[in-house]
Amino acid sequence: MAADSLESGSAPADDDTPGIAELNTPEWFALSGELAGIGFLTVARRLPALVRQALGMAWQANPRDTVATIAFNLLGGVFTAFGLLATTGVLDALFSTGPTPERVRTALPGLILVATAAILRTTLQAGAGWAQSRLGPQVNRIAEERLYGLTSQVDLVAFDDPEFHDALQRARTRGMRTADTVVDTAIDTLTGLIGIAAAAGVLGLLHPVLLPLLLLAVIPDAWAAVRAARMGYTTDYALIPARRRKWILTDLMADRRTAAESRSFTMRGFLMRMYDSVARGEQDIMLGLARRQAFARIVGEALGGLGTLAVYTALGLLLFLGTVPLAVAGTAVLAIRSGKGSLENLMYATNRLYEEGLYFADFLAFCALADRHISRGHPGPAPEAFERITTEKITFSYPGSGTPALRGVSVRLDRGEVIALVGENGSGKTTLAKILSGLYRPDSGHVRWDEVDLATVDPDLLRRRIAVIAQDHSHWPLTVRHNITMGESKGEPALFSAAEVAGADQVVAELPHGYDTLLDRRFKDGKELSGGQWQRIAVARGFHRDAPLLICDEPTAALDARAEHALFERIRRHADGRTVLLITHRLASVRYADRIYVLDHGRVTEEGTHDQLIEVDGLYADLYSLQARAYSA
């Protein structure tokens, strides 16, 4: 019942338990059905590719350690086989006729060889383990650099794609973290194969019949391991929507942003009931998984025990018929035990490699997906400045949206002008600003700086010519200095000037360590700012860029009326010679703009100065009159 409720997104039958809305199910969720049908042979076919991918990453991390790990394991296998063969001579001497002291003396050279082989094998295995342990942290670093190197340069619009977001979540939460495990288990798999090859080679030399008997003892264990891995993976896939819901709920109960309102509205009981309905359903599913996996392992071990019994029965029969001598039979027992141990290790490693390899495949798939979301083919340099910026009939739609956010929008911004974009929520103002700032590329149409089409220039170089003051600016857990300079070193005068123009110097004056104060309470001596103080830091950030185009997207949203007026005065003074694109709902702030564009449902419906638009008596005049009456009431 709980599992069904979990899948449907509703709570168990309890009138006091609130319903839980179902999250969007991404396309990759359908893979769970495919994975449920994967069998042992499929796993066997996929393992070589997994081993190859893992060793490729290990080689990228450190070729020397990779070679040392494999070489030491190979040599260890050689000495394992050598020690087993030498054991035959020892047993033959001990089982021969004659006085016991004489038999021991005869066996002594063989015993020395066996001991030497054991010492060398142990030493080589220790060396392999040392080299392998060095690979783990290096592989982790390579994987993290690869993932975050891609996520930090993909086109911004990718983050508006739910499928991309889901793939990123899978890659970050499990896929990336399995990279070192996949490498370890791939090497362990090779080590197991080497041990099996050594034992199998010895058994083949002793008697050909003994070799297939070895396989009979371990195939059931292999089946059980693969089946348990498949159960775990498909269950994890099935639980992804539930775990996402649970993560959202836990974030609501443990995040500072929601803490005050949660207490004000006494939401604790409501949220806990929602959480409990999901958590209990997940618990029931996991308990069922544990039961099914335990049954599979019990069956595998029982069948493996029968296989082992068959092996020793066959060996006893060979002894009875005189087909193999006693010394060979004794060596065969040791080789079978060694081979069975290697096979058990191989099965364990194979199980983990396959299971973790599926998550690792998610990591590789996301890297390929992210790579496709990186804009390429724009080698041209960005213009240093412009006389005019124009957009020509640009259209843009967000991923998965059936309605365009912009439809045939054409605007112009001349150097030194203050241009305002106004309109109701959802009209396309911020989307247009992001296209002008080089964060989005239009689906059709052109954006030009004079005669240069921005589709032909490097977007990173373009963004260095643009400063953005955004409403949803980030609260970086860095010092005030770095929150303003954003990694650019222009010297102290530029820092102080930007802070003064934005009024952020007044904020800094109240901080204990000035510009070196950490703005995050999670750090020792860290401080938190109010919304208005953060807004001033964000404005200083935009002024510090000192770019020919300044885009201000609701820059006064967190400021009081006095601070808002002062900021707009600063922007007007700072804009001398620069072009300012101003987006705001407070129309009193745009009266002195050189030109105002009114957007409605993704289209430019009105254009002109404040006085011209008032005369038109359209949407702008209506919105302005509404706000004016509110202030005069």
Measure the CA angle with vertex 120, ends 119 and 125; round to 5°: 100
The pLDDT-based confidence of 325 (bands split at 50, 70, 90) is confident
The pLDDT-based confidence of 99 (bands split at 50, 70, 90) is low
DSSP-assigned beta bridge partners for residue 607: 597
pLDDT of residue 175: 79
Domains of the chain in sequence order? 23-372 (1.20.1560.10), 383-465+548-633 (3.40.50.300), 475-546 (3.40.50.300)
pLDDT of residue 389: 92
CA atoms 8, 11, 12, 13: torsion sign: negative
DSSP string of 350-409?
HHHHHHHHHHHHHHHHHHHHHHHTS-----BPPPS--SEEEEEEEEE--TT-SS-SEEEE
DSSP string of 70-82?
HHHHHHHHHHHHH
The pLDDT-based confidence of 459 (bands split at 50, 70, 90) is confident
pLDDT of residue 558: 59
Residue 307, pLDDT above cutoff 70: yes
pLDDT of residue 409: 93
The pLDDT-based confidence of 101 (bands split at 50, 70, 90) is low
CA-nearest of 371, 363, 369 to 150 is 371
Contact yes or no for 201/81 (Cβ under 8 A): yes
pLDDT of residue 159: 85
Residue 304, pLDDT above cutoff 80: no
Angstrom distance (rounded) from CA 625 to CA 630: 8
Average pLDDT over residues 238-245: 79
Residue 291: CB partners within 8 Å, gap ≥ 6?
none
Angstrom distance (rounded) from CA 223 to CA 347: 9
- For 531, what's the count of Cα atoms within 13 Å in the CB-facing half-sphere? 10
Residue 236, pLDDT above cutoff 80: no
Contact yes or no for 294/229 (Cβ under 8 A): no
pLDDT tens for each residue of 170-182: 888 777 888 888 8
pLDDT of residue 26: 43
CA–CA distances in Å: residue 295 to residues 98, 223, 289, 299: 53, 12, 10, 6
Angstrom distance (rounded) from CA 446 to CA 396: 11
pLDDT of residue 23: 46
